Amino acid sequence: MPLLRAESLTRRFGGLCAVDRVDLEVVAGEILGVIGPNGAGKTTLFALIAGSLAPSSGRVWLEDRQVSGLPAHRVVRAGIARTHQLVRPFTNLTVLENVEVAAITGARRLGRSTAVLAEDMVRTTGLGERAHDYPAALTLAGRKRLELARALATAPRLLLLDEVIAGVNPAEAQQLTGLIREVRDRLGLSIVMIEHVMPTVMSLSDRVVVLDHGKKIAEGKPAAIASDPAVIEAYLGAAPARAESSP
């Protein structure tokens, strides 16, 4: 049984169909990349899985439990956590205190101390020396690590990463890429990641799903996706017609 299964997942906003009958499966321990042009429906898909939005139709299952339609806090308790493109920590709390807020949920699930779990996730994400700093003192990469630490502190089984790498410099991107692999291996997570940095998503992902205008247009191994004509057209547009040679 897949860890996550989405069946014909659809979300409409008036006349706009942002996610259109998308089927998705994620198996235990897998990293699944989700790519597509801007406006393809990627973040809306995450919101549907995470409970931030209710689907217009279709269902989401975490193993044998249907989670679609549940409010976001109950989806988190079931074992699905996400990060966001725009990182918005509690600015009046330290790094450790930010993570402790999220760790209340994870500690209940794991039967651990909230404080100990939060400290563990702060160290795991490389923020141990910044634990008592405020988020404003962190770089963008540091704030993204904090966002990751908060998600991990809920003790998820499935982690949704929304553009964790975007916006950081190449050295930081390489470090964050290694961190994602590390937390997958150490914590035994399954990960679904939206990313526009193609070298990262292609190197990290076991499989890649491509969305365009809300529809799934391709799915497969990274090498196959990179050479798929439908994917190339979605990103670059149709190839221009070849000019006829002069007589």
Q: Using only the alpha carbons of the chain, give its radius of gyration.
A: 19
Residue 244 lies in a domain: no
| Same domain, yes or no: 11 and 131 | no
Q: Provide the percentage of residues in the chain whose pLDDT is more than 90.
A: 83
| Same domain, yes or no: 142 and 163 | no
A 10 A CB-CB count for 13 gives 10
DSSP string, 86-141: S----TTS-HHHHHHHHHHHHHHHHT--HHHHHHHHHHHTT-GGGTTS-GGGS-HH
Residue 134 structure tokens: 């405020």
Q: Mapping DSSP to helix (H, G, I), strand (E, B) and coil, where does residue 177 land? A: helix
**pLDDT mean over 34-60:** 95
* Residue where one domain finishes, among candidates 155, 185, 210: 155
Q: Indicate which CATH number applies to the domain containing 208.
A: 3.40.50.300
Confidence of residue 191 (pLDDT cuts 50, 70, 90): very high
Residue 49 lies in a domain: yes
| Same domain, yes or no: 65 and 165 | yes
Question: Residue 187's domain spans which residues?
Answer: 4-79+158-236
* Residue where one domain finishes, among candidates 135, 155, 175: 155
| Same domain, yes or no: 96 and 149 | yes
* Residue where one domain finishes, among candidates 132, 155, 178: 155
| Same domain, yes or no: 43 and 137 | no
Q: Give 130-168 pLDDT, tens digit per residue.
A: 999 999 999 999 999 999 999 999 999 999 999 999 899
| Same domain, yes or no: 13 and 34 | yes
| Same domain, yes or no: 232 and 172 | yes
State how many domains the chain has. Answer: 2
Total residue length of the chain: 247
Q: What average pLDDT is seen over the chain?
A: 92
Q: Which residue's structure tokens are 């996730």?
A: 121
The set of residues, in sequence order, having a beta carbon less than 8 Å from that of 235 and lying 6+ positions away, is 37
CA distances for 123 relative to 116, 150, 155, angstroms: 11, 12, 15
Specify the DSSP element, H or E, that contains 33.
Answer: strand 31-35
Residue 179 structure tokens: 């961190």
Q: How far apart are CA 3 and CA 42, in angstroms?
A: 20
Give phi and psi for 23, each to the nearest 5. -105, 140
The answer to whether residue 243 scores a pLDDT higher than 60 is no
Q: How far apart are CA 61 and CA 20, in angstroms?
A: 17
Confidence of residue 27 (pLDDT cuts 50, 70, 90): very high
Residue 242 lies in a domain: no
135, 142, 102: which is closest to 119 by C-alpha? 102
| Same domain, yes or no: 23 and 133 | no
| Same domain, yes or no: 225 and 179 | yes
| Same domain, yes or no: 11 and 115 | no
| Same domain, yes or no: 55 and 169 | yes
Residue 246 lies in a domain: no
Q: How far apart are CA 128 and CA 95, in angstroms?
A: 9
Residue 85 lies in a domain: no
| Same domain, yes or no: 125 and 28 | no
pTM of the model: 0.91
Cα 225 to its chain centre, rounded Å, is 19
